[in-house]
Amino acid sequence: MKNYDIVIVGGGPAGLAAAVSAKKAGCDSILILERDTELGGILNQCIHNGFGLHTFKEELTGPEYAYRFIQQVLDLGIEYKLGTMVMDVAPDKTVTAMNREDGMFTIPAKAVILAMGCRERPRGALNIPGFRPAGIFSAGTAQRLVNIEGYMPGKEVVILGSGDIGLIMARRMTLEGAKVKCVAELMPYSGGLKRNIVQCLDDFGIPLKLSHTVIDIEGKEHLTAVTIAEVGPDRKPVPGTEERYTCDTLLLSCGLIPENELSRAAGVEMNPVTSGPIVNESLETNIPGVFACGNVLHVHDLVDYVSEEATRAGENAVKYVNGAEAEAGAAGGNATTGAAQAEAGGNAEAGRAHVIALAATDGARYTVPSTINVDRMSDLLTVRFRVGDVYKNSFVSVYFDDERVMHNQKRIMSPGEMEQIVLRKAQLAERPLLKTITVKIENE
Amino acid sequence: MYDVIIIGAGVSGAAVAWQLGRFNIKTCVLEKCEDVCEGTSKANSAIIHAGYDAAEGSLMAKLNVRGNEMMDELSKELDIPFKRNGSLVVCIHKEELGGLKDLYDRGIKNGVKGLKILSREEALELEPNLSEDTVGALYAPSAGVVCPFELNIAMAENACENGVEFKFNTEVKDISKGEDGLWHIKAANGEEFCAKYVVNAAGVYADMIHNMVSKDKIRIIQRRGDYCLLDKQVGGHVTHTIFPQPTSLGKGVLISPTIHGNLIVGPTAVETDDKEATNTTAEGIEELITKAGSHVRNLPIKNVITSFAGLRAHEEHHDFIIGEVADAPCFIDCAGIESPGLTASPAIGEMVAGILKEKMGLTEKSDFVATRKGIVRTEGLSVAEMNELIRKNPAYGNIVCRCEMITEGEIIEAIHRPLGAKSLDGVKRRTRAGMGRCQAGFCSPRTMEIINRELSIPYEKITKSGGASVIVPTRTKAAGAAGAAASCAADAGTQANLGAAASKESDGEVTGA
């Protein structure tokens, strides 16, 4: 097997954008490993439009959006392997993978970009009581069956969870002639984008029942009915509010889980809030030269932001590879520390590097990244985060240690919509003693 | 006409079939579901119990200890994953320490080897995550964990290999003794069978089957048990099987690693009149979490990947009923097989075969095949072994289930084995594809594709587990319209495809030449 400087695990939107940017940044030795039989990842089954408004300033379908990047990968001559499962990423960045043609093989990469995406939370993880018949699908599985395979799971549908895929599938199933009876959401707010509530539920008269959940599933062989009940503030069902819906299909859209089994096995440190790796300003994990981007890092709402993030990961991986080479080249002569190492060394903090921690408190749940090495950050750095509840007319505040430096009012913020702030390098560079940047939500 | 008909292809029926496979007789197993291992056998703790629980002198005690003894050889012969991880009955109340001694004494009388009462310190040293309240424990090194599906499937496959017939989707509706002295069996699907001997291994339905032929009625009470299965990430939370002290309702909520590295928590014990009530309940799962937490600290219950419920076939006198029915000669009961039924199953098979051997004067086959080779397990193979496998069959290089890392090759093998898988659950129980943390979200469409291809079952007919459990009953509008347009050309299309395949092959030949 050939050696590659950068191995990208996953050929979905994150992996593709990372590959393109790494190539454009001057790296000619890149390999994408994709487990499916096509590049493009889950976008291939997202045949609805609404992709690309930020990136391309036009509305594309999922496959069209993916193809814009696939085309670049092809034009730039970036190598990729399909039907290839990565079995292991070792801490020394040796990647072990397997496919039908090559068998099991290893590649000692100089940098690895983790772009495995995420998976859906299944029924089992929700502990929904009742029978376990056919007719229960995670929304994305149903989406694949309908849009790729061309088969319908059923005709009378209840959806639990108001994640975006569930909302999209409410509309899709309706267009296919199914009756979507309701969407139940455990939380008092939707987990999806506002625009999807409007376009996929409101426009089709599908009720969204907030603070409701499924408390029973009937049907020994095939689903026949579910019972939905209102939940109190403790998220426990309120007796007397039960409503039975006959249905043959239950779709679940109750959250996405970054798929980090490989990362964990490699020793990558995880953020328990995002279930994704802890990364620095370069989107680099605690293992120098291992980067993460896209939904494996934290679940995004918009693919445009995935592409943007992955572009940065690709560029930073090239910097890492070049830095490591410069260092190796210099190793024979005088030991060069300082600049080269700062450039090269991931979280291994180089001597006097100015590293700032990011904290999320008071309604802000997390930030990506978690740390910033001021010397290595770009002039503008986007920090993304989510809020833990619905906030109306509240303020996003940013504190540099105890000093409030940003205080922006937002009409509405909700957990289903990712928020962001932008930090300027100059602003941080002039505060050499700054230790912590805190993002919080304030009422006034 | 059969010499022996076995009703039920759960672990008891399969064990009897396995043991009868060695004799020169015609045996048939009738199963109401579409596959083996569809009832109690698929939803239990998957524990090979040591044998200290059952009352001294009971059949349960005897067959538990015997079944446990048989497991080492059986697991080798039939290639079944099995591990003696040892069990601990943990006492958390000082005043109940005497209970451990009682269990110990009973175990000794039952013939359990290696039992030892541990102090708090010894117990915590063996199992650091035991509760702070631990005051002592009974250690049984001979207890183990097994794959309950594979135990059941392996015995059935071996029986099949040795000539035992299996009829699925065949629910027994009526049994009567004919004037010819034979048992006449009518099935719900209209088929009729007759046999000299009948073995009743019908699980929770064993009372209904028994009561068709005997005036001396028996009653099976379903005892439902809810379980939670946790992610492999936390499979090492305990390494032994941890029991609380037993009560009249059973051995209580256990916490155990499974043979495949998950953590299992359960079961509850709720009596129900419904023989199909395998539904979990919110109260049941709540109870599990509370009870399990009292013996093991920091139970990582949030890592649950699925919950399920099984029904124990509890007989009111709480012992196995195995033997010829007094007022129904040539009808052998195998009833009330609740815990430790899985452990006892090989011994149950041995006992029933022994009864039949003596009554029927059975002789052994000369060509009996004693061993069975399981599906190739790619997990744990070296790179060289893996590549050898992939070179011979590239399907082993294609991962279908990414949580459990199951290859297409394993799934194809599961489908084409004796008594092969026909449904998603059939594939799952044979390969573990779909049993991981995403619970088949990713692999089910791919597995459907393989079932469709290998068995020529149209997508609309592929089931989760037979019967009405179809997964995608109809086509989408666009696909349906395209299908209708194409349907008249379907034959031509197939031929064209065949033509393409053929020309590819001849290309290969040319290149090869």
Considering the domain B1-84+146-219+316-375, what is its CATH architecture?
A: 3-Layer(bba) Sandwich (3.50)
- Decide which of B487 and B329 is more confident: B329
In A187-236 the beta strands, taken as DSSP E runs, fall at 208-210, 212-218, 225-230
pLDDT higher than threshold 80 for residue B196 = yes
Enter the tokens of residue B272: 């129900």
DSSP B449-465: HHHHHHH---GGG-BSS
For residues B433 and B457, what is the distance between their CA atoms, to the nearest angstrom?
A: 19
Active site residues of B: 49
Report the pLDDT value the prediction gives residue B28, as an integer from 0 to 100. 98
Mean pLDDT score of chain A, rounded to an integer? 94
Report the pLDDT value the prediction gives residue A342, as an integer from 0 to 100. 42
In B287-418 the beta strands, taken as DSSP E runs, fall at 304-315, 321-325, 328-335, 399-401, 406-407
Angle among Cα B104, B110, B114 to the nearest 5 degrees reads 55
- Section B424-450 average pLDDT: 96
Report the pLDDT value the prediction gives residue B478, as an integer from 0 to 100. 85
For residues A96 and A160, what is the distance between their CA atoms, to the nearest angstrom?
A: 38
Q: Using the beta-carbon criterion (under 8 Å), do B465 and A145 form an inter-chain contact?
A: no
Considering the domain B85-145+221-313, what is its CATH architecture?
A: 2-Layer Sandwich (3.30)
Report the pLDDT value the prediction gives residue B485, as an integer from 0 to 100. 67
- Section B188-204 average pLDDT: 98
User: Helices (H) and strands (E) in chain A — how many of each?
Assistant: 10, 31
* Residue A156 CB neighbours (<10 A): 18
For residues A18 and A316, what is the distance between their CA atoms, to the nearest angstrom?
A: 10
Cβ atoms of residues B319 and B341 within 8 Å: no
For residues A58 and A136, what is the distance between their CA atoms, to the nearest angstrom?
A: 35
Contacts of A237 in chain B (CB under 8 A): 282
Q: Using the beta-carbon criterion (under 8 Å), do B441 and A87 form an inter-chain contact?
A: no
Report the pLDDT value the prediction gives residue B480, as an integer from 0 to 100. 83
- Section A333-341 average pLDDT: 42
For residues B304 and B298, what is the distance between their CA atoms, to the nearest angstrom?
A: 14
Contacts of A133 in chain B (CB under 8 A): 464, 469
Report the pLDDT value the prediction gives residue A326, as an integer from 0 to 100. 80
Contacts of B483 in chain A (CB under 8 A): 150
Residue of B nearest to A178 (CA): B476
Residue of B nearest to A132 (CA): B279
Q: Which of residues 234-253 of A touch B (CB under 8 A)?
A: 237, 248
Q: Using the beta-carbon criterion (under 8 Å), do A150 and B473 form an inter-chain contact?
A: no
pLDDT higher than threshold 90 for residue A348 = no
- Section B339-365 average pLDDT: 97
Contacts of A222 in chain B (CB under 8 A): 468-470
Judged by a CB distance cut-off of 8 A, whether residue A104 touches chain B is yes
> What type of residue sits at position A129?
P
Q: If phi over 0 gives left and psi between -120 and 50 gives alpha, with beta otherwise, what is residue B450?
A: alpha
**Least CB–CB distance from B307: residue in A127, A140, A216:** A127
Q: Which pLDDT tens digit goes with each residue over B109-159?
A: 999 999 999 999 999 999 999 999 999 999 999 999 999 999 999 999 999
Q: Which pLDDT tens digit goes with each residue over B226-281?
A: 999 999 999 999 999 999 999 887 889 999 999 999 999 999 999 999 999 999 99
The backbone torsions φ and ψ at residue A327, rounded to the nearest 5 degrees and listed phi first, read: -65, -45
Per DSSP, helices labelled H in A132-260 are 139-144, 164-175, 194-196
Cβ atoms of residues A197 and A173 within 8 Å: no
pLDDT higher than threshold 90 for residue B175 = yes
pLDDT higher than threshold 90 for residue A332 = no
Q: Which of the 8 DSSP states describes residue B37?
A: S
* Cβ burial, residue A332 (10 Å; 0-12/13-18/19+): exposed
* Cβ burial, residue A327 (10 Å; 0-12/13-18/19+): middle
- Section A174-178 average pLDDT: 97
Sole residue written with tokens 């040892």:
B86
pLDDT higher than threshold 90 for residue B293 = no
- Section A436-443 average pLDDT: 97
Judged by a CB distance cut-off of 8 A, whether residue B475 touches chain A is yes
Enter the tokens of residue B142: 């001979």
**pLDDT > 90 fraction of chain B, expressed in percent and rounded:** 90
pLDDT higher than threshold 50 for residue A247 = yes
pLDDT higher than threshold 90 for residue A302 = yes
Interface test with A, best of B469, B475, B477, B487 (most A CBs within 10 A): B469
Report the pLDDT value the prediction gives residue B262, as an integer from 0 to 100. 98
**Least CB–CB distance from B459: residue in A131, A151, A237:** A151
* Residue B477 CB neighbours (<10 A): 13
The mean-pLDDT minimum among A176-180, B231-235, B292-296 falls in: B292-296
Report the pLDDT value the prediction gives residue B426, as an integer from 0 to 100. 98
Cβ atoms of residues B304 and B285 within 8 Å: no
**Least CB–CB distance from B445: residue in A100, A149, A217:** A149
Q: Which pLDDT tens digit goes with each residue over A128-145?
A: 999 999 999 999 999 999
pLDDT higher than threshold 50 for residue A333 = no
State the nearest Cα–Cα gap between B328 and chain A, in angstroms. 34
Q: Using the beta-carbon criterion (under 8 Å), do B279 and A217 form an inter-chain contact?
A: yes
The residues spanned by each domain of chain B are 1-84+146-219+316-375, 85-145+221-313, 383-416+421-508
Query: Burial code of B271-310, b = ≥16 C-beta within 10 A, e = fewer?
Result: ebeebebbbbbbebbebbbebbbebbeebbbebbbbbbbb
DSSP-derived 3-state class of residue B426: helix
Report the pLDDT value the prediction gives residue B487, as an integer from 0 to 100. 56
Judged by a CB distance cut-off of 8 A, whether residue A83 touches chain B is yes
**Least CB–CB distance from A129: residue in B233, B276, B282:** B282
The mean-pLDDT minimum among B47-51, B86-90, B192-196, B247-251 falls in: B247-251
Task: Give a three-class secondary structure readout of A311-344.
Answer: HHHHHHHHHHHHHHHHHHHHHCCCCCCHHHHHHH
Q: Using the beta-carbon criterion (under 8 Å), do B474 and A152 form an inter-chain contact?
A: yes
Contacts of A154 in chain B (CB under 8 A): 473
* Residue A10 CB neighbours (<10 A): 29
- Looking at chain B, how many residues does it have? 513
Report the pLDDT value the prediction gives residue B495, as an integer from 0 to 100. 42
Q: Which pLDDT tens digit goes with each residue over A415-435?
A: 999 999 999 999 999 999 999
pLDDT higher than threshold 50 for residue B395 = yes
Judged by a CB distance cut-off of 8 A, whether residue B306 touches chain A is yes
Q: Using the beta-carbon criterion (under 8 Å), do A141 and B305 form an inter-chain contact?
A: no
DSSP-derived 3-state class of residue B170: coil
Per DSSP, helices labelled H in A176-301 are 194-196, 261-266
For residues B43 and B149, what is the distance between their CA atoms, to the nearest angstrom?
A: 9
Report the pLDDT value the prediction gives residue A331, as an integer from 0 to 100. 58
For residues B333 and B362, what is the distance between their CA atoms, to the nearest angstrom?
A: 19
Judged by a CB distance cut-off of 8 A, whether residue B282 touches chain A is yes
- Section A384-389 average pLDDT: 96
Report the pLDDT value the prediction gives residue B491, as an integer from 0 to 100. 46
DSSP-derived 3-state class of residue B382: coil
Model ipTM over 0.90 = yes
pLDDT higher than threshold 50 for residue B511 = no
pLDDT higher than threshold 90 for residue A325 = no
Under the banding of pLDDT at 50, 70 and 90, the label for residue A335 is very low
Report the pLDDT value the prediction gives residue B498, as an integer from 0 to 100. 40
